[in-house]
Structure 1
């Protein structure tokens, strides 16, 4: 029983890390622009497709494929921020509607160009297994956990140790005050979008080899990422990390005691319980509207 629990816990950390990629990316945009980008799941999918195409048609190197996916998604994010979100900066409702429209554009664009069928991401090296005593783990699972930890550590270091990170936190706390002291709010918006897109690209590129790549593969991570944000607390980056990991571990380990079909019931029941006790989530603080 202990062996099964440990294996499921590692599986949960792996999927939780994927949810963290989504939750952190959404929190960056929410914190800076105070809008939930519902297109993040579709951009996560786009990241997986870009990495797949680079790996299978350009260079047979997984690391280069992941980095190329990051570069492409950052460029896409810059275009979307400038062309879609910046003109709607003062209309948050329309920003949400625009992000929902982007979901349809991206998903249907993928179908039109690459077709609706699921594609394999044949990274053979990541399909090996590692044995630790009686425990056995897929290399890709460990890579995802390591990549998630590295990205979280790098993001926290960036936010707390660099001038750009300080500017980003200042705009998140008080955009008008930040503008008064000379911070370029538009540049910070572009920076937040770029970081968010890089996280989406890494998440999609890491998940792709584990499962099939298909046009709606980002929908479930989007829902679970949102759940992680709510559980951890809106506006809290540490909360997004803890919430995403918690959901992954809970849904994985719950299958040891309940049928797999009911794992989401367990996850969301616990979320409701937490919100009844702490309505703003585990680490939530008052939003700008509530202040």
Structure 2
């Protein structure tokens, strides 16, 4: 719209200069137009009517100062009529959009980027906490955006995560629910905390019937290692159910001597329980809490 306004006013100014007339009320009208007041088109129409009357009188210019003012204003309106965003005369970044203004333009970085518009850099929404991922989802920064992913225990698009869910590498084990292996070797306490961070717990309540499917499912994933479970001082962490029967323990276990934390072996032979120093490092099994 501003180009239409500029063209009309420019024509009017040229007519005024040629006629030599620049009445005070006309100057006031131009000032109002320049400041961008409302009803600008009505003002322009009024101005053009005045110009038509003046042009009909065929008077010669008598005031050089008025013509100079008209010339300056015409240059101003030429600037006003230019669209640098369209003609490529801007210096916005390729990562910004150009927005035309009454005079000149402005550069605004695209969403996911920050800067003055002439220079824009990627924003790490994950690091600064402006992402919209679910509280339990992981956030991965990408150029100009980010990716949200629900943990294995949940289903959803990352912005919304709901239970129940059991996505690989987690597996459903009858009687235990959703079980997930953690291949990173940690101390017993860190393994327990890692499970908590996933909305789970170190696996508990294992019976002889469950050991065989656990071994078949996770033996290769965990390389048959000694795996931390939710056992401390020969009891499940609930404190209510001791690890029984005795046949589930290796023959010389539990042997005490400050070896308070429990693990199971998933070696090809029959799995069994043992205890070890809590400061040892091993993979672990997490159990989804429903």
Same fold by TM-score, threshold 0.5 exceeded?
A: no
| Greater percentage in helix | 1
Higher alpha-carbon Rg = 2
| Greater percentage in strand | 2
Specify the TM-score bucket, using the shorter chain as the normaliser: under 0.3
